[in-house]
Amino acid sequence: MNNFWLCRKLWSYLYWTPAIVFLSDHFFHVKTITGRSMQPTLNPDSSQWRDVALFSKFAVREAQEYGRGDIVTIRSPENPKYVLIKRIIAMEGDIVKTLPPYPDLEATVPQGHVWIEGQESMPLIGKCPPGDEHFLSDDSNRFGPVSKGLIESKLLMIIWPPQRFGSVNVKANPTKGLSLNDEQRRELSRHARVQISASSFSSGQ
């Protein structure tokens, strides 16, 4: 009886394995977020758990539905063994007011590239970054614009811990209230540093 139950269980796993592998390779994958470069959006100090998030490969590879403000996984241009989780702040043709340690004050994002940053590399509006916190993130301020071909997936939602379940995108809209938290201040700072290319309006980026 036990052998029969084990065989059924094994067959069930084998039956669903190809479908799971296919979905993981082409549509979705789940990642545990490590590090603090995307705080407070991901892994905030207020949570005792690491965030576990659902990412869409389909949105990047097939639909190409990503743009400014989206959080993506991207293969490191410096070391392809590592995958980074960063936010896209500028698309091709945009002009970015850079942050240290980038050598130039401004950078134009070339064709087929994006500009990515970690949350902590973005100073708050009206505040100076304390110490060297804005250097914690390995992002475009360190290695410049990144090829779109290195983007692997787009963040859809946090699935763990339960109290953080749901979407994480924060849009700062001062017309809806005068009180902004630090995350929303960073959102406004990000917009203030990017001059959007005129061609982006027609392409819907």
Q: Which residues are catalytic?
A: 37, 86
The token duo for 199 is 């061609």
Please report where in the chains the tokens 């990047």 appear, as a residue.
Answer: 60
Please report where in the chains the tokens 């983007």 appear, as a residue.
Answer: 151
Q: How many CB atoms lie within 10 A of CB 86?
A: 25
Distance CA 97, CA 108 (A): 9
- Diameter of the chain by CA atoms? 72
Beta-ladder partners of 158: 53, 166
